[in-house]
A and B are shown apart, each in its own frame.
Chain A
C-alpha cells in the first residue's frame, strides 16, 4: 500500500523493464503530456490496453455557505474522467465462460419454504461438467422435494384432525353457530345457519382427500391450510352463543325502527303542505277535480290514512297544475324553475315521470308535476 510519485514509478519501471533511465523518463513524460494534449484538443484519449480519458461536463450545483447559511452556486466545470479498458470477457473472446464455483449449501438450507428452495438456483450455478455433478444436484433437489412433501402431509393431517374434531363438537352443541372454515373474521359469519356450515365442511374432505395422497400434486395438499384457524374458532363457539342471542333481537328492533321511519316519511310527505292536514277532509270535498271516487270515500277514516293516500289530491293542487305540456326549446330545468322557482325540483319531476331521456324531453309531452 504505497504511494508512488512519478520518480519512484520511473525507478521501478527501470528495474522491472530493463529500459534505461533516460528512456523511462522520456517515456513517462511523453505519455502524460500527450494525454493532456489529446484532452485539450480532442476531448478524449483512448489508449489500447489501458483505458479512455474523457472530458465530462459537470453541471452547476446549488449549495449553502456553511458560515452564513446563504445559498451559493458552485459553478459547473469540465472534469477528466477515466474508464479503464475492459479486461476481455470470456464471452467476447470466444473462450469458455469463467469457471464458476459449485456452491455446496449446508443441509439446513434444504428445509426452506418452497420459494426459497427455488431461489436455490444459486446452487445450480455451475455448468455440471461431470456426471457426478448432475447426480449430486439431483440428490439435493430430491431431498428438498421430499422434505417439502413431508411438511405438506403433516400440515394436511393436522387440518383433517381439527376438522373432524370441529364436526364432532358441532354435532354436540345445541345451536352450533360456529364460524365457517374459511379464514374470514367471525363477525361476518354470525348470520350463517348451522346447516350451511356443516354442509360446507362435509364436501371439503372428499374433494381434497383424494389428491393429497399422491406425490405429484404437491400444491393441493397445503391448500386446506387456511382452515387451520378452526381451532381458535372452535374454542370461541361456546362464548359466542350469547352474543348471537343478543344480536337477533337487536336486528328485530332495527327493522321495527326502519319501518317506523318509512311510515313517518310517507306521512311527512304530505305534511309540509301549506294547509294543515286536519282540515283535509272538508277541503278535499271542495276540490274541483277529484281523481277517483275511492279517495273521497275514506273521509271517515283517520287522518293519517288520508294524508298518505293524498299526495296528489291535496289543497296544493288548486294552486299548482298537475301536468305541464313541454314547449319547444324547453328543458326540465327550465320548467322546474318556471313552476317551482328553483332548478332543484328537476329530480322530483324525473322521479315522478318515466322519461326515456330526461335530458331531452320533446315538446308536447305532458309532464307530471310533483
Chain B
C-alpha cells in the first residue's frame, strides 16, 4: 500500500477529501515525532509500541566535494509490534 492508497483509505474512513486527510495525517505524524524526540514512547493497543532511538554523531565523507562532514546526532522512531498485531499478520 503506497502513500496515495493509504491516504485514500483514511479519507474514506474520515469522510473527507484526500487533501484534508493528508493534512491530518501529517499533524498526527508530527505530533508523534515531537513526542519521541522528547524521549517518550507511545503504546497503541492492538498495534505496537513506538519508542525513540538515538543515533550518535558520526563522520561522513563527501567524495564529490572531498570533505569530511559531521552528521549530527538525531532521534529516530523505533517500533515493536504487539502480540495482537502479530496474530493478525500471521493468520
Do they bind each other? yes
- Complex interface bits, B27-48 against A, C-beta within 8 A gives 1, otherwise 0: 1110110110001111111011
A359 an interface residue at 8 Å Cβ cutoff? no
Which listed residue (A1, A5, A34) contacts B9, Cβ 8 A? A34
Query: A46 vs B67: C-alpha distance in the bound complex, in angstroms?
Result: 34
Residues A1 and B13 in contact, CB atoms below 8 Å apart: no
User: How many residue pairs between the two chains, A and B, have CB atoms under 8 Å in the bound complex?
Assistant: 150
Query: A55 vs B79: C-alpha distance in the bound complex, in angstroms?
Result: 13
Residues A91 and B62 in contact, CB atoms below 8 Å apart: yes
Which of chain B's residues have a CB closer than 8 A to the CB of A87? Answer: 74
Residues B67 and A42 in contact, CB atoms below 8 Å apart: no
Interface size class of B (residues with CB under 8 A): 35 or more
Which of chain A's residues have a CB closer than 8 A to the CB of B25? Answer: 27, 31, 47, 50
Residues B42 and A12 in contact, CB atoms below 8 Å apart: no
Residues A125 and B77 in contact, CB atoms below 8 Å apart: no
Which listed residue (A47, A82, A124) contacts B6, Cβ 8 A? A47
- Complex interface bits, A1-37 against B, C-beta within 8 A gives 1, otherwise 0: 1111110010011001101000100111011111111
Which listed residue (B24, B39, B69) contacts A97, Cβ 8 A? B69
Query: A40 vs B29: C-alpha distance in the bound complex, in angstroms?
Result: 22
Residues B40 and A1 in contact, CB atoms below 8 Å apart: yes
Interface size class of A (residues with CB under 8 A): 35 or more
Residues B3 and A47 in contact, CB atoms below 8 Å apart: yes
Which of chain B's residues have a CB closer than 8 A to the CB of A124? Answer: 68
Which of chain A's residues have a CB closer than 8 A to the CB of B59? Answer: 122, 125
Task: Tell me the minimal C-beta distance from A359 to chain B in angstroms.
Answer: 60
| SS class, residues of chain A in contact with chain B | mixed
Task: Tell me the minimal C-beta distance from B4 to chain A in angstroms.
Answer: 9
Residues B13 and A41 in contact, CB atoms below 8 Å apart: no
Chain A CB within 10 A, most for which of B28, B32, B34: B28
Which of chain A's residues have a CB closer than 8 A to the CB of B77? Answer: 50-51, 82, 84
- Complex interface bits, B65-91 against A, C-beta within 8 A gives 1, otherwise 0: 101111110101111010001101111
B18 an interface residue at 8 Å Cβ cutoff? no
A126 an interface residue at 8 Å Cβ cutoff? yes
Which of chain B's residues have a CB closer than 8 A to the CB of A53? Answer: 79
Residue of B at shortest CB range from A13? B31
Which listed residue (B1, B65, B79) contacts A82, Cβ 8 A? B79
Which of chain B's residues have a CB closer than 8 A to the CB of A84? Answer: 76-77
Which of chain A's residues have a CB closer than 8 A to the CB of B1? Answer: 34, 37-38, 41-42, 44-46
A98 an interface residue at 8 Å Cβ cutoff? yes
Point out residues on B near A: beta carbons under 8 Å.
Answer: 1-3, 5-6, 9-10, 13-14, 24-29, 31-32, 34-35, 39-45, 47-48, 59, 62, 65, 67-72, 74, 76-79, 81, 85-86, 88-91
7 additional A-B residue pairs with CB within 8 Å, beyond A40-B91, A50-B77, A124-B68: A6-B43, A30-B9, A31-B25, A47-B6, A79-B86, A81-B79, A125-B67
Point out residues on A near B: beta carbons under 8 Å.
Answer: 1-6, 9, 12-13, 16-17, 19, 23, 26-28, 30-42, 44-51, 53, 55, 77-82, 84, 87, 91, 97-98, 100-101, 121-122, 124-127
